[in-house]
Amino acid sequence: MLSKRTIHLCVTGGIAAYKAVELARAFVKAGARVRVAMSPSATAFVGPITFQAITGAAVLTRVLDPSEEMEIGHIAFAQECDALVVAPATANIIGKAANGIGDEVVSTVLLAANVPVVIAPAMNTFMYENPAVQANLERLSSRGWRVLAPDSGALACGHVGPGRLPEAKVIVEATQSLLEPGVLKGRHVVVSAGPTREYLDPVRFLSNPSSGRSGFEVAAAAARAGARVTLVHGPVVLPAPSGVEMVPVVSAEDMRIAVTTAAQHADAVVMTAAVADWRPENRAEQKQKKSGDRQELRLVRTQDVLAGLGEQRQGIRPVLVGYAAETQDVLNAAKAKRIGKKVDLVVANDVSQEGCGFATDTNQVWFVGADGEEALPMLSKSEIAQRLVTWLAHHLESVQ
């Protein structure tokens, strides 16, 4: 995703510094050339040799480093890259950057920066919520820096609240979104993801094994491409993609209402969600006790969300994309679904194949459209999402 990009990572002295090791690895895995600068206090948490081993590049730890200063190393570090990423960003470095102070290597690098900057705060909840820290973050944001919100949860100090360093994937996606050309800039894309649940009683429900990963990857890719993204999702355990509006739902009817509402002013709708086709005719108000050896369950059809959008569509907007998870005769089923539900593209896959379908990181799909079908090789769901975003951009341009 970041092939041929150079990312310089600035690590400062918080307990989350150890997570920067994973972040450096994630940038390398995404194809970037990575180099690291560490504040003096950061080296108390993680050794520079660790980052050097991961990135294959020397780590900048001092402003006056004899091995660097023939080229004024801290200036080159600040400017000879595509983006600077500060993670974790302590209250101390945030204050220095906001007020133009350069008294060690990272703060001096940030003073000289003339490239996009992503800053990921991580600290104690009370420190993060301190008005001075918030004012400094607002100042940096007003200068065009991309300031990420910290995650909430249990912190090293024992408190529970905002202050955790965002997941490495979130930081990588935020960095990429700064560097991509924005092929969906100005567009509104609605994505559905994950399973739905149809409750039989307060503790039992009908559902499926969808993890929501495909939809979350599509939402993330669309956001990176500059779109305003609304992600309507069933019960999942995935981190929210950066810069995406999240709309949680539970049942198929919840999904239908939320997607239909969001689609009213959308340019495109991508339905990856595994929406239940059936629901119990009656839902018990209390947990049903076991009785006898057999129990009959009557089911009724849920409303088809994608077909409803196809019926309601006026003209060519929104562009509609559906997903088809099949176990046999995949292409013919996808072609029938595209025509029957009046959609523009069906992304079809055989969930019976190893490495495909539910709860996997990879998939092998066909893009089935009015002009024919394209077979994609086995790819990561992230790469498939990126290719779908490219298709959306071209299709929206062609029907402008």
What number is the average pLDDT over the span 86-97?
97
Question: Looking at 129, 156, 179, which one is the last position of a domain?
Answer: 179
Q: What is the mean pLDDT of the chain?
A: 90
Sequence-separated (6 or more) residues with CB below 8 Å from residue 270: 189, 190, 191, 192, 215, 218, 222, 321, 323, 388, 392
For residues 215 and 320, membership in a common domain is answered with: yes
Cross-strand pairs, 10: 37, 86
Residue 17 lies in a domain: yes
- Domain co-membership, 197 together with 346: yes
Q: 296 CB contacts (<8 Å, ≥6 apart)?
A: none
Q: Containing domain of residue 15, as a range?
A: 6-179
169 lies in some domain: yes
Based on the domain organization, do 137 and 246 belong to the same domain? no
| 194/165 same-domain check | no
Q: Are residues 171 and 192 in the same domain?
A: no
pLDDT digits 0-9 by tens, 238-278: 888 888 999 999 999 999 999 999 999 999 999 999 999 99
- Residues 111 and 209 both lie in one domain: no
204 and 163 part of one domain: no
The per-residue pLDDT for 71 is 52
Give the CATH number for residue 39: 3.40.50.1950
* Residue 1 lies inside a defined structural domain of this protein: no
**Looking at residue 112, what is its pLDDT?**
92
User: Are 206 and 147 within one domain?
Assistant: no
Q: Where among 147, 179, 211 does a domain terminate?
A: 179
Do 151 and 248 fall into the same domain? Answer: no
Per residue in 362-373, pLDDT tens? 888 999 999 899
Q: Is residue 21 part of a domain?
A: yes
How many separate domains does the chain show? 2
pLDDT tens sequence across 344-361? 999 998 888 877 778 788
In tens, the pLDDT along 371-400 reads 899 988 888 888 889 889 989 998 998 876
One domain, residues 169 and 24? yes
Which CATH number belongs to the domain containing residue 296 in this structure?
3.40.50.10300
Task: Encode pLDDT of 306-325 as tens digits.
Answer: 999 999 887 777 999 999 98
Position 199 pLDDT exceeds 60: yes
Q: How far is CA 13 from the centre of its chain?
A: 27
In a domain, 203, yes or no: yes
* 207 and 348 both lie in a single domain: yes
Inform me whether the pLDDT recorded for 69 exceeds 50. Answer: no
The confidence score (pLDDT) of residue 70 equals 44
Q: Does position 170 have pLDDT exceeding 80, yes or no?
A: yes
Residues 219 and 288 in one domain: yes
Domain boundary among 120, 150, 179: 179
The answer to whether residue 147 is domain-embedded is: yes
Q: Report the catalytic residues.
A: 157
